[in-house]
């Protein structure tokens, strides 16, 4: 049976508001038992701690919050049934978004644009300026399905250009997303889990491709993400595994001030080991990228038992990882200052050596893996 790294005495405290980042440093612990994923070693954090710039509802009292099997707070329990906490009646970021849309004369009473017309325009849009013009022309006239379609076209355009985006492309993408935020203002209250997941998922894909740098996220896009965070809080238990992964990535990569801890605790509670084990390599990459961003912005990491389950899920998928993914995984672990035990690294090395032997790893990927192993103080001869 695996032992937890953290004990009740040194577990990081949650603020009374539930929206502050965990800031208590975690000290190193011995590696886990051999022949299993074991408890990862947390190296001494050296990064600065950032505050959370979002204000929201207070958490429930300590007596109404229980700990789940992984040692993290579960969803608020009603009549013995786990359910997500009830949101405040007022969504402050949404109010800001609605007010901005009103000032921009984006009316929600305009007739929705024809979906066939939108589809034909999207097929012809082959550049960021083209998408930007489309978003401006139909601002406030897109229904939920059209919003998702436009954002997915943007994600496809981002994938088509593998090279690092230019500053002009980043600027056009930022203006495009600002227009889309105005269109979403009146739609958020009626959005269900699939739509919220699709919007946040595509936003995260754009950020992951370098089109929206974390420190340059437009203000209205930050407000849009904050409004979606609050809208998703009571719905997280209805999301499936991939949706949880991509929603987390969208929230983490587009929130320069970090995420509210009440949302993070709820997300961790509903993202069970079973869901993690069923995730694809791409979804697991999204989770790892999210943890990397959250560690940088607010020094937040999940409970160690939950992290063990994530590493076990990743270990089972290592055979499907190519050289670039293996490099990125190693760099994320190094940035998280998280060192799994020797058994896990043995599986990683086996997958990496197999790719190297097949000449499927670029020189820069080899250099990245070796750098990460050196930073983690792991022998990788």
Give the residue with greater pLDDT, 36 vs 289: 289
Does the pLDDT value for residue 178 go beyond 80? Answer: yes
Mean pLDDT of 67-91: 45
Confidence of residue 73 (pLDDT cuts 50, 70, 90): very low
Mean pLDDT of 36-65: 43
Global confidence as pTM: 0.76
Mean pLDDT of 268-286: 96
Which residues are CB-contacts of 241 (< 8 A; sequence separation ≥ 6)? 271, 275, 276, 278, 279, 283
pLDDT of residue 381: 65
Domain residue ranges of the chain, discontinuous segments joined by + = 86-271
pLDDT of residue 270: 97
Q: HEC string of 106-144?
A: CCCCCCCCCHHHHHHHHHHCCCHHHHHHHHHHCCCCCCH
Q: Which of 12-16, 184-188, 301-305, 374-378 is predicted least confidently?
A: 12-16
Q: Which of 22-26, 76-80, 172-176, 346-350 is predicted least confidently?
A: 76-80
42 vs 49: CA distance, rounded Å? 16
How many other CB atoms are there within 10 angstroms of residue 8's CB atom? 8
Q: Which of 13-22, 105-114, 225-234 is predicted least confidently?
A: 13-22
67 vs 73: CA distance, rounded Å? 5
How many other CB atoms are there within 10 angstroms of residue 286's CB atom? 26
134 vs 251: CA distance, rounded Å? 25
Does the pLDDT value for residue 15 go beyond 80? Answer: no
pLDDT of residue 34: 42
Mean pLDDT of 72-77: 43
292 vs 28: CA distance, rounded Å? 18
H/E stretch holding 41 reads strand 41-42
In the structure encoding, which two tokens stand for residue 282, read together? 């791409």
pLDDT of residue 109: 61
Give the residue with greater pLDDT, 7 vs 309: 309
Average pLDDT value over all residues in the chain: 80
Give the residue with greater pLDDT, 309 vs 80: 309
| Alpha carbon 25 to chain centroid, angstroms | 22
Give the residue with greater pLDDT, 381 vs 323: 323
User: Given 3-state DSSP classes, what are the helix, strand and coil percentages for the chain, each rounded to the nearest 5?
Assistant: 55, 5, 40
Confidence of residue 41 (pLDDT cuts 50, 70, 90): low
313 vs 281: CA distance, rounded Å? 9
Q: Which of 289, 223, 280, 299 is nearest to 255 (CA)?
A: 223
Does the pLDDT value for residue 38 go beyond 80? Answer: no
310 vs 294: CA distance, rounded Å? 16
Confidence of residue 113 (pLDDT cuts 50, 70, 90): confident
The owner of tokens 């329990």 is: 77
Percent of the chain with pLDDT over 90: 57
Give the residue with greater pLDDT, 366 vs 110: 366
341 vs 346: CA distance, rounded Å? 9
Q: Which of 375, 374, 330, 379 is nearest to 352 (CA)?
A: 330
């Amino acid at each position: 049976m695996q032992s937890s790294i953290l004990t009740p005495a040194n577990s990081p405290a949650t603020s009374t508001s539930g929206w502050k980042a965990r800031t208590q440093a975690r000290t190193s612990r011995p590696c886990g038992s051999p022949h299993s994923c074991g408890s990862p070693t947390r190296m001494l954090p050296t990064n600065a701690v950032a505050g959370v710039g979002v204000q929201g509802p207070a958490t429930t009292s300590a007596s109404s919050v229980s700990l789940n099997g992984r040692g993290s707070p579960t969803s608020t329990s009603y009549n013995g049934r786990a359910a997500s906490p009830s949101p405040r009646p007022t969504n402050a970021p949404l109010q800001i978004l609605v007010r901005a849309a009103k000032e921009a004369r984006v009316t929600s009473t305009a007739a929705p644009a024809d979906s066939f017309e939108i589809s034909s325009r999207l097929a012809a849009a082959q550049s960021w300026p083209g998408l930007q013009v489309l978003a401006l022309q139909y601002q406030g006239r897109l229904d939920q399905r059209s919003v998702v379609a436009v954002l997915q076209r943007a994600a496809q355009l981002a994938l088509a250009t593998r090279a690092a985006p230019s500053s002009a492309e980043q600027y056009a993408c930022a203006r495009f997303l600002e227009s889309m935020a105005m269109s979403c203002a009146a739609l958020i209250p009626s959005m269900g889990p699939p739509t919220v997941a699709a919007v946040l998922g595509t936003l995260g894909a754009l950020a992951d491709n370098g089109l929206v740098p974390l420190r340059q996220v437009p203000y209205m896009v930050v407000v849009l993400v904050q409004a979606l965070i609050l809208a998703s809080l009571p719905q997280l238990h209805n999301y499936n595994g991939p949706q949880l992964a991509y929603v987390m990535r969208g929230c983490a990569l587009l929130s320069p001030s970090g995420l509210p801890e009440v949302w993070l605790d709820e997300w961790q509670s509903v993202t069970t080991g079973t869901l993690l084990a069923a995730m694809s390599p791409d979804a697991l990459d999204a989770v790892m990228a999210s943890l990397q961003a959250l560690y940088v912005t607010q020094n937040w990491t999940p409970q160690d038992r939950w992290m063990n389950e994530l590493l076990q899920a990743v270990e089972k998928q290592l055979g499907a990882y190519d050289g670039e993914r293996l490099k990125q995984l190693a760099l994320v672990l190094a940035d998280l200052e998280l060192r799994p035990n020797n058994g896990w690294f043995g599986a990683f090395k086996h997958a990496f050596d197999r790719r190297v032997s097949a000449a499927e790893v670029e020189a820069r990927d080899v250099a990245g893996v070796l750098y990460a192993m050196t930073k983690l103080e792991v022998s990788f001869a």
